[in-house]
Amino acid sequence: MRKLIPALLLAAAMIGIAVLAVFDIIPEKYAQFAPLALIALFPGVWMGRNRTCCASKRTEA
């Protein structure tokens, strides 16, 4: 559930930018690259924050 909320917020921001571009509040040339900029600004949403390759979290077989 914790990973779902940031992804939904990112998607809502992208949809919001698209709606603002439709009503000419944001220029089209900025709205065209806004989803890419959002992904670049918030990489934790699509890459994740936890890493399972950490040596301290390994378990012995």
What is the residue-wise DSSP string for 27-55? -HHHHHHHHHHHHHH-HHHHH-S--TT-G
Helix, strand, coil: what percent of the chain each, to 5?
65, 0, 35
Q: Which two tokens stand for residue 16?
A: 């919001």
Instruction: Return the residue matching tokens 């919001």.
Output: 16
pTM value?
0.67
Using DSSP's 3-state secondary structure scheme, residue 21 falls into helix
**Number of structural domains, the chain?**
1
Q: Which band of pLDDT confidence, cut at 50, 70 and 90, is reported for residue 5? A: confident
Q: Which band of pLDDT confidence, cut at 50, 70 and 90, is reported for residue 4? A: confident
